[in-house]
Amino acid sequence: MRRWPAVLKVLNETKPADKRVRVYGTVVSVEQDNGKIIIDDGSGSKSVFFNSIEMIERLESYKPGVQVTVIGWAGESGIDGEILRRVKGFEPENYKNILEVWKNVWSKTERSELVSQSD
C-alpha cells in the first residue's frame, strides 16, 4: 500500500492544505498524558498529537532538548503525528538556510518548465 508523500516543511509554514508533512525540530515539552509534544524548528513551534497507544507510551523517552523528525498530517491545531524519530546534528539556522535554497531552486525549476511548455 502506498502512502501519501510527506512534504518537507518548516513549522510556521505548515497548513492543512499540505496534507502529510515532514518537519524537524527540537522538543520543547512533552505531555504524555495527552499524547502531545511541542517542537520548535527556529521558525516557530507546533503541537504534535499522537493517537496510537504505542506512540504515546514511547513519548516518555523524549525529553525537552531532544532533536526529532516528525511525519504526520498537518491540521489547524498542529500535526497529527504518525512517525517520531530522534535525529542528531539538527541546527535550526542551517535548516532554514537549506530550505530557502531548496525553495529558490524549486521555483526556478517550475518557471523553466512553464517557459518550455509555452514554446
Identity of the residue numbered 51: N
Topology annotation, domain 7-118: OB fold (Dihydrolipoamide Acetyltransferase, E2P) (2.40.50)
Distance in Å from the first CA to the final CA of the chain: 39
- Domain residue spans in the chain? 7-118
pLDDT in the model for residue 92: 65
pLDDT in the model for residue 107: 67
pLDDT in the model for residue 111: 56
State how far the Cα of 25 lies from the Cα of 33, in Å rounded to an integer: 21
Give the containing element (helix H, strand E) for 57: helix 53-58
pLDDT in the model for residue 116: 54
- In angstroms, how far is CA 113 from the centroid of its own chain? 28
Q: Give me the residue label for grid cell 530557502.
A: 100
Q: What is the dihedral of CA 115, 7, 9, 58, to 10 degrees?
A: -170
pLDDT in the model for residue 46: 95
∠86-58-22 over CA atoms, to 5°? Answer: 40
pLDDT in the model for residue 74: 95
In the chain, which residues have pLDDT < 70?
1, 90-93, 95-96, 106-119
pTM above 0.85, yes or no: no
Contacts of 38 (CB under 8 A, 6+ apart): 27, 28, 29, 45, 46, 47, 48
